[in-house]
Amino acid sequence: MSPKANQAGFSLIELVVAIVILSIGVTAFLTLIINAGKNSIDPQIRVQANAIARAYMEEVMLTRFCEPDFDPDGDPATDCAAECSVSACSTAAPNACGGINAVGGAEAGRAVFDDVCDYNGLNDVGAQDQNGNPIGTLGDYTVNVAVADNGTMLNGLNANAGQVVRIDIDVTHTTGTTTSLSSFKANF
């Protein structure tokens, strides 16, 4: 027997094919691990955005429907439910019970918001507490609040008659993930 016939091993072509197959497998595995890491952050962002939206919604819902000084007939015995007869947040109606034309008007800062309409148009870049102070760890979120009082209906209650408003809160993370939350506040 010749010495060449007894030698066992891989040819150069077999070695190159094995390296190519192994590198494809390693690349696919690393891609899977990287994507799993990226996608595991998204649920955390959504959970935090939902918590922020709920906190803002609770804050808005705990305020009054009407401006506290709203009393067009001057009789303290009648309340907001009896006297508010136009769209609550209307900027045109002189009788708006929570809009800028109401007695007291729209407050200048979130720390002094006292009725639901004061929150209309709120845009916080970086989530803030109820006094308007930034919460440092939530700086990547933007919060927008809209209070709709025109054409909104809820079980026979009409926003145009000062009976109900719809509150929409959108929380957006810098990654583009947006969480929305809506609710109604009735004048009762």
> What DSSP letter does each residue of 68-100 carry, written as one string?
TT--TT--TTS-HHHH--S-TT-SS-TT-SSST
Question: Could you tell me the two tokens for 95?
Answer: 């009788």
**Residue 99: which of 147, 151, 163, 153 has the closest Cα?**
147
> Computed from CA positions of residues 65, 67, 73, 75, in that sequence, does the dihedral angle turn out positive or negative?
positive
Give the span between the Cα atoms of 102 and 94, in whole angstroms. 7
- Are 128 and 135 in contact by the 8 Å Cβ rule? The answer is yes
Per-residue confidence in pLDDT tens, the chain, 188 aa: 555 666 677 788 999 999 999 999 999 999 988 877 766 667 889 999 999 999 999 999 999 998 888 887 888 888 888 888 888 887 666 667 876 655 555 677 888 888 898 899 999 999 999 988 999 899 999 999 999 888 888 988 888 888 999 999 999 999 898 999 999 999 87
- Are 101 and 69 in contact by the 8 Å Cβ rule? The answer is no
**Residue 129: which of 100, 147, 115, 109 has the closest Cα?**
109
- Are 117 and 147 in contact by the 8 Å Cβ rule? The answer is yes
Give the span between the Cα atoms of 73 and 55, in whole angstroms. 35
pTM: 0.75
Give the span between the Cα atoms of 187 and 181, in whole angstroms. 20
**Residue 154: which of 145, 142, 164, 146 has the closest Cα?**
164
Helices (H) and strands (E) in the chain, counts: 2, 6
- Are 146 and 116 in contact by the 8 Å Cβ rule? The answer is no
DSSP E strand boundaries for 42-155: 123-125, 141-148, 153-154
Question: Could you tell me the two tokens for 146?
Answer: 């809209």
